[in-house]
């Protein structure tokens, strides 16, 4: 298996969308073993965004759109962080010490950036330039979140995250709510994270973008993820049209 930092799905149609999935995988390159962790932890949320990759694949197929997915676990390096972010390589995640990261100093972090982080973002940059040929190029990032956090249930079915640009986020939240979903407005996280993937490739270039967070119990099997993608597509279609109508 290649050790590149990403998997790219080629566009199969004329779509202005570029789909992104930073935390798609829970695998590690062989050279890193298990980072000293019990294998069971790699099935949990600390290693990846459960279900997000399958939703991304299904939407890419439905739209004929290109997609870029992270190939390795976020425990190796978090692709949704800037290269200078102190949480890029985590030494502790949700109470679990990451032994293989404990002694990762600047040189090791730089190696991981060069091998895994930079190629992922280079591919997104290349694909984002390609969709500039369309009148309204759009970046859509897919993530998932745990049904509860620190013993507290999370009420949302879906969260819509954004920073300064609400061109797509606002109509998408409205359309999701109309469909009967419980929607988080910049919940369960804020989309205002300088240096993250959408800041780097969306905000900095003025490209419309949105991050969609889906509760993991809604997509924790391929069948559920496929069903959620089928539900999401017409909602996203309507929101994209709303955005285009509102912005001329």
Q: In the predicted model, what is the mean pLDDT of the chain?
A: 96
Report the pLDDT value the prediction gives residue 239, as an integer from 0 to 100: 99
Residue 61 scores a pLDDT above 50: yes
Residue 248 scores a pLDDT above 80: no
Domain-by-domain residue ranges, the chain? 6-22+50-69+117-246
Q: What percent of the chain is predicted at pLDDT more than 90?
A: 93
pLDDT level of residue 1 (50, 70, 90 thresholds): very low
Residue 36 in tokens: 């000293």
Host H or E run for residue 140: strand 138-145
For 169-188, write each residue's pLDDT tens digit.
999 999 999 999 999 999 99
Local structure of residue 187 (DSSP, 8 states): -
Residue 108 in tokens: 């090791």
Q: How far is CA 109 from CA 89, 132, 151, in A?
A: 7, 32, 33
For 93-122, write each residue's pLDDT tens digit.
877 899 999 999 999 999 999 999 999 999
| pTM, full prediction | 0.96
Residue 235 scores a pLDDT above 80: yes
Query: Which CB contacts under 8 angstroms, 24+ apart, belong to 153-158?
Result: 154/188, 154/215, 155/182, 156/182, 156/183, 156/184, 156/187, 156/188, 156/213, 156/215, 157/181, 157/182, 157/183, 157/214, 157/215, 157/218, 158/182, 158/183, 158/184, 158/212, 158/213, 158/214, 158/215
Residue 22 scores a pLDDT above 70: yes
| CA–CA dist 64, 97 (Å, integer) | 41
**6-22+50-69+117-246: what CATH class?**
alpha beta
Report the pLDDT value the prediction gives residue 3, as an integer from 0 to 100: 72
């Amino acid at each position: 298996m290649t050790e590149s930092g990403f998997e790219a799905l080629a566009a199969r149609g004329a779509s202005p969308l570029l789909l992104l999935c930073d935390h798609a995988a829970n695998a590690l390159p062989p050279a890193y073993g298990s980072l000293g962790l019990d294998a069971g932890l790699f099935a949990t949320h600390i290693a990846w965004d459960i279900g997000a990759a399958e939703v991304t694949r299904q939407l890419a197929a439905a739209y004929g759109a290109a997609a870029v997915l992270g190939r390795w676990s976020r425990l190796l390096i978090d692709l949704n962080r800037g290269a200078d972010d102190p949480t890029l390589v985590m030494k502790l995640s949700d109470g679990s010490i990451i032994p293989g990261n404990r002694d990762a100093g600047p040189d090791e972090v730089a190696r991981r950036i060069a091998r895994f982080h930079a190629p992922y973002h280079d591919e997104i940059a290349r694909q984002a330039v390609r969709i500039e040929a369309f009148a309204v190029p759009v970046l859509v990032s897919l993530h998932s979140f745990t049904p509860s956090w620190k013993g507290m249930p999370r009420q949302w079915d879906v969260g819509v995250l954004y920073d300064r640009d609400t061109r797509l986020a606002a109509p998408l939240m409205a359309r999701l709510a109309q469909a009967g979903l419980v929607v988080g407005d910049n919940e369960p996280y804020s989309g205002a994270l300088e240096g993250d993937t959408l800041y780097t490739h969306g905000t900095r270039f003025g490209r419309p973008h949105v991050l969609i967070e889906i509760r993991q119990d809604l997509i924790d099997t391929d069948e559920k993820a496929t069903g959620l993608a089928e539900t999401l597509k017409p909602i996203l279609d309507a929101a994209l049209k709303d955005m285009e109508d509102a912005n001329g």
